[in-house]
Chains A and B, each alone.
Chain A
């Protein structure tokens, strides 16, 4: 176990160093988009509307926090890993080292977790300032952190499976972008048709945003969603293991 954790840290260390050199641009990149959403949807669109008994602003903030956690974690893990794999090829050095693939996977996800957690917490703080009714609890932070982990693993998996830069950008436009908008982030899933609902509940972001919303609005904790979210994490991790074992072509 100490060896495992030590290796995880070694893998993470190099990404941390990288972040240290580039933290300003990195932070700016991941904050601009959610802040725009907050302004455009929360203020612009939803000024007077209320949804599920609360103001739209209070409703949408947890969704935007989840969305930020999702895109910052996914991209944080995926973009660095892509560079390591396709441009610098320094990922090969990890594969040739005695570090186990399990440590590699977790270590490579951590930069996404860190970036996702910082960005989404920042949005959360802005959100609380705008809508003071939102409840912030240790539970909320824990769910946020686990969401970041799940999404970062998703980013690692996507990069390991999709073998080109081109493929990654297609994936992010065709799969990720719709997912960020549709997963109950901006609207309530209660009124939509059953078929669409089933489809959307098969996405991890839907569960993350519904748990965060429940916590922020003091509703009962949706255990099922939490369980499903963690299962997604486990599935992504196993996917990464299989991808790395099969890799080396």
Chain B
């Protein structure tokens, strides 16, 4: 039989992935697939289990139960093969802050077995790529937050990973630094790298990610494109403030039905706003909480 249509290969696949720390269930029964070539966003509030998931995927932590395959290899049993295709920029950057940018790159190139000639070439290329050529000989601790992130990204790319994990890459960056980093991530993705990034910024997930998984208390509660997630809820949101006390939210498929609803409200309704819905609305509706905490 002929199967018509494109089957998008799963590059990362988890099955009932669970991690407990004592009684804390950091990740619970996680089932998801990340496709080759996409920018996948893992969105969730503090403590949701994002870092834990990344640490399991990158072989640093062993799952309590369940499994993860990357490129068809099991992260626990075939860690050596997984290590070859992954690169990570951890939440804490994991750079040696008392060394220069170049020394950090050199170190990472060495432990990934690049030859002296390859090291020289890749380091020059990558410094250029992340726009840090002028800062090559500066100590990491003298760089701005944005520059440190870019240095960490360069370090993680030396061995040409097929998938790059970015754990909250834009936390602590100013608006400009964030945009610049987004551009870098897009460029990397265009050049063929699958991206798995975590964030608790709604705009980031919307602006950057092809698909978004929402994680809450260790559980995956939704997974789709930002548009599809909003469509399920309604693309148009109405915020109606009643007696200046509570704001009520309602969602509609289009502006026309939203307007009809607003017109049906009693005159006492107070301020009413009609706007496009966003992922924050999706998150709040699914969990009853705000992403940044109450």
Task: Give how many B residues have a beta carbon under 8 Å from the other chain's beta carbons.
Answer: 29
- B12 CB to closest chain A CB (Å) equals 16
Interchain CB contact under 8 A, B80 and A22: no
Q: In the complex, which residue of chain B has the Cβ closest to the Cβ of A100?
A: B80
Total residues of chain A contacting the partner, CB 8 A: 23
Q: Which of B89-97, B183-191, B210-218 contacts A (4 or more CB under 8 A)?
A: B89-97
Q: Is the interface of A mostly helix, strand, loop or mixed?
A: helix
The reply to whether B98 and A96 contact each other, CB–CB distance below 8 Å, is: no
Which residues 181-225 in A have Cβ within 8 Å of B in the complex?
Answer: none
Within the complex, which residue of A21, A98, A248 is in contact with B113, where a contact is CB–CB below 8 Å?
A98
Q: Which of the residues A13, A95, A248, A249 comes within 8 Å of B110, measured between beta carbons?
A: A13
List the A residue with the shortest CB-CB distance to B139. A21
Tell me which residues across on chain B come within 8 A of A21, comparing CB atoms.
98-99, 139
State which of B83, B90, B93, B98 has its C-beta within 8 Å of the C-beta of A98.
B83
The answer, yes or no, to whether A14 is at the interface (CB within 8 Å) is: yes
Beta-carbon contact of A10 and B110 below 8 Å: yes
Q: Are A96 and B99 in contact (CB under 8 A)?
A: no
Q: In the complex, which residues of chain B have a beta carbon less than 8 angstroms from the beta carbon of A99? A: 111
* Residues of chain A in range 26-56 having any CB-CB distance to chain B below 8 Å: none
List residues of chain A with CB within 8 A of the CB of B250. none
Bound Cα distance A143, B6 (Å) = 68
A92-B60 contact, Cβ under 8 Å, with A7-B111, A10-B107, A11-B111: yes
Residue in A13, A96, A98 with the greatest tally of chain B CB atoms within 10 Å: A96
Given contacts A97-B83, A248-B62, 4 further A-B contacts (CB under 8 A): A88-B96, A92-B60, A93-B111, A97-B111
In the assembled complex, 30 residue pairs joining A and B whose CB atoms fall closer than 8 Å, in A order, are A10-B110, A10-B111, A13-B106, A13-B107, A14-B96, A14-B107, A17-B99, A17-B103, A17-B107, A18-B98, A21-B98, A21-B99, A88-B92, A89-B90, A90-B96, A93-B94, A93-B108, A93-B111, A93-B155, A95-B59, A96-B83, A96-B88, A97-B83, A97-B111, A97-B112, A99-B111, A248-B59, A248-B62, A249-B61, A249-B62
Binding site for B on A (CB under 8 A): 7, 10-11, 13-14, 17-18, 21-22, 84, 88-90, 92-99, 248-249
